[in-house]
Amino acid sequence: MGGLDRDLLKRYPLLRRFLIARGLAASAGAAATITQAVGLAQVLTTPTNGTLVLLGAVAVARVALAWWDRWSAEAAAGEWKHILRVEAVAGLRARGLRGSAGAGSVGTLLTKGIDAAENYVTGPLAALPDAVVTPVAVLGALFALDWPSALVVVVTVPLVVLLLALVGTYTRDRSAHQLAELLRLGSQFLEAVSGLITLRVLGRENHTAQRVREVADAHRVATVRTLRWAFLSSLVLETITCLSVALIAVPVGFRLLEGSLTLAVGLAVLVLVPEAFRPLRALGAGFHAAEDIRAVLAALSSTGSAVRVQDRLPAPPLTPGPISVRDLAVGFDKPVVTGIRFELEPGGRYALVGPSGSGKTTLLRTIAGLLPPLAGEIRLGDTPLGAIDPRAWNRHLGVVPQRPHLFSGTVAENIYIGLPDAAPDRLWHALDQAGAADFVRALPAGPDTPLGDRALRLSAGERQRLALARALIRTPAVLLLDEPTARLDVTTETAILDAVDRLPATVLVVTHRPRVAARADTVITIADGQAAVSRWQPC
């Protein structure tokens, strides 16, 4: 059936356990349903105290089962959504944002997209065991009570199953198209909001708004089309169910008048027949959710496969040996730089230079573990970087990107992101190392001063120093800097470089400025897709 995906059950034991538990609950529920139907017929024809007590106990049991069904489905859905998000983030962490997957579409996928997992677990997956067990159990009871009525159910139930298969075939492509439109809408909206100031300056805000509106309309049309088919299929299911009940109820009524059927049996049959179709109707009502989650999982797989971090090794101590780069090729879908070979000795100073777009930042991200190498390897001592738990490797790293992001919290909160459990004296030590302690003390509330949106109240140099302090609070063994002095004046640049020179860490800095490269012991030049290593030679 469309609600069951065997690959999902193999990959996620949680879903397998949930399905087994729901199967047991469905068996108990089917037994309670049959008992209640027969008991109700007995109460209405020949009531006894024992039958009333049994009927009350069965009613309480069905209420308890219904509560457990809802609770277990919501719990399993919440846990599975968490697993999916952890896997997706781990995959992005291992591969980075590659190809055409932009931040907007990835953000939409990780939020609204993965929310489809809840609809899948609480909908078709939860209904599937009941849809398998209950009709079979009810059919057996009907054969025992009145075989002509059972034959009608035998003929009509396969029609419902066939309709569900047709619905799944039709909605599969439409669900993928709907998700693609949703991801495109998220990407377009993020781009429009991020570049709003530039768009207004250029007078292009109306054009961009129209593009977002067009994508939103396309998503709306795709959603309505899918819902229209879902509602139509539900209508057909209800029609088949009503006709089936009618095909049984009318003959039962005539047979009761003839006296060929007892009232107790007739009532039990009329109560049981709708119960044979109830789980199938519930499965059909959420059937499109199964196709939605398939589309989401396919989109998630394109962002990067999950990394089994438990199979990785802890990061070895970095102080004794070098970081070796051997025949490395870096890039996204195709290599930007190939044949890279160099070693970063502990405590050394290295500059990475070359024309814009030559692959310097890509190489830096690869060393940081943000992108996998396309060929070759990076070794920490004798251990390949790919065999090390990324979280353990991160603990040895300090990274300052070219445009560091400062959050809207306080200065201290931004610095503590680098090491959340650091003591206050370590915060001040990092600020002092980065040359930021004096201006932080001068702020209205010191380190507790809120920075506001993007820390616009601070100068570019002050923001750069706070980003450096955030990296230094970890006491990194390796410090990776991407254009740390871009857009800074000479005085501020000198102050930051002096702060970096005082560090015992291995430093690799990407730069275009000769003054920055002059501080390095070794210069790695990237040009024409190749890397060359040399000692710094001033012009």
pLDDT in tens, 405-454: 777 788 888 888 878 888 888 889 888 888 888 888 888 888 888 877 65
The pLDDT of residue 344 is 87
The pLDDT of residue 174 is 61
Average pLDDT of the segment spanning 361-376 = 83
The pLDDT of residue 342 is 86
Res. 311: pLDDT tops 70: no
Average pLDDT of the segment spanning 292-316 = 53
Per-residue pLDDT tens for 195-243? 665 556 556 667 667 776 776 777 677 677 767 766 776 777 778 778 8
Measured between alpha carbons, how far is 422 from 105 in angstroms, rounded to an integer? 35
As a three-state string, the secondary structure of 235-252 is HHHHHHHHHHHHHHHHHH
Measured between alpha carbons, how far is 507 from 477 in angstroms, rounded to an integer? 9
Output the DSSP codes for 19-48. Answer: HHHHHHHHHHHHHHHHHHHHHHHHHHHS--
For residue 190 the two structure tokens come to 């993020």
The rounded mean pLDDT for the chain is 77
Phi and psi at residue 118, to the nearest 5°: -65, -45
The pLDDT of residue 363 is 86
Give 482's contacts (C-beta < 8 A, 6+ positions apart): 360, 361, 364, 399, 400, 401, 402, 509, 510
Res. 303: pLDDT tops 70: no
The pLDDT of residue 67 is 92
Output DSSP code: residue 448.
G
Closest Cα partner for 117 from 11, 217, 28? 11
Q: What kind and span of H or E run contains 8?
A: helix 6-11
Pick the CATH number of 8-304 from 1.10.1060.10, 1.20.1560.10, 3.40.50.300, 2.40.10.10: 1.20.1560.10
Pick the CATH number of 315-535 from 3.40.50.300, 3.40.50.1110, 3.40.50.2300, 3.10.180.10: 3.40.50.300
Tell me the pairing of strands 335-344 and 522-527. unpaired
The pLDDT of residue 177 is 59
| CATH 3.40.50.300 boundaries in the chain | 315-535
First to last CA, the chain: 73
Average pLDDT of the segment spanning 24-47 = 85
- pLDDT level of residue 528 (50, 70, 90 thresholds): confident
The pLDDT of residue 150 is 84
Measured between alpha carbons, how far is 143 from 507 in angstroms, rounded to an integer? 80
Measured between alpha carbons, how far is 498 from 537 in angstroms, rounded to an integer? 20
Phi and psi at residue 341, to the nearest 5°: -140, 120
Res. 365: pLDDT tops 80: yes
Measured between alpha carbons, how far is 522 from 532 in angstroms, rounded to an integer? 10
Neighbours of 227 (CB within 10 A): 12
Phi and psi at residue 409, to the nearest 5°: -80, -160
Of 66-75, 300-309, 381-390, 457-466, highest mean pLDDT: 66-75
Question: 95-104, 162-171, 207-216, 406-415 — which is least confidently predicted?
Answer: 95-104
Burial letters 387-426, b for 16+ CB under 10 A, else e: ebbbeebbebbbbbbeebebeeebbbbbbbebbeebeeeb
For residue 203 the two structure tokens come to 């007078």
SS3 category, 133: helix
- pLDDT level of residue 285 (50, 70, 90 thresholds): low
| CATH 1.20.1560.10 boundaries in the chain | 8-304
The pLDDT of residue 202 is 53
The pLDDT of residue 199 is 56
Average pLDDT of the segment spanning 136-159 = 85
The pLDDT of residue 109 is 61
pTM: 0.55
- pLDDT level of residue 95 (50, 70, 90 thresholds): low
Res. 180: pLDDT tops 70: no
Phi-psi category of residue 529: left, alpha or beta, with phi > 0 → left and psi -120 to 50 → alpha:
left
The pLDDT of residue 307 is 41
The DSSP bridge partners found for residue 352 are: 510, 524
**Tokens 């067990």 map to which residue?**
133
Phi and psi at residue 482, to the nearest 5°: -110, 105
The pLDDT of residue 98 is 45
Res. 41: pLDDT tops 70: yes
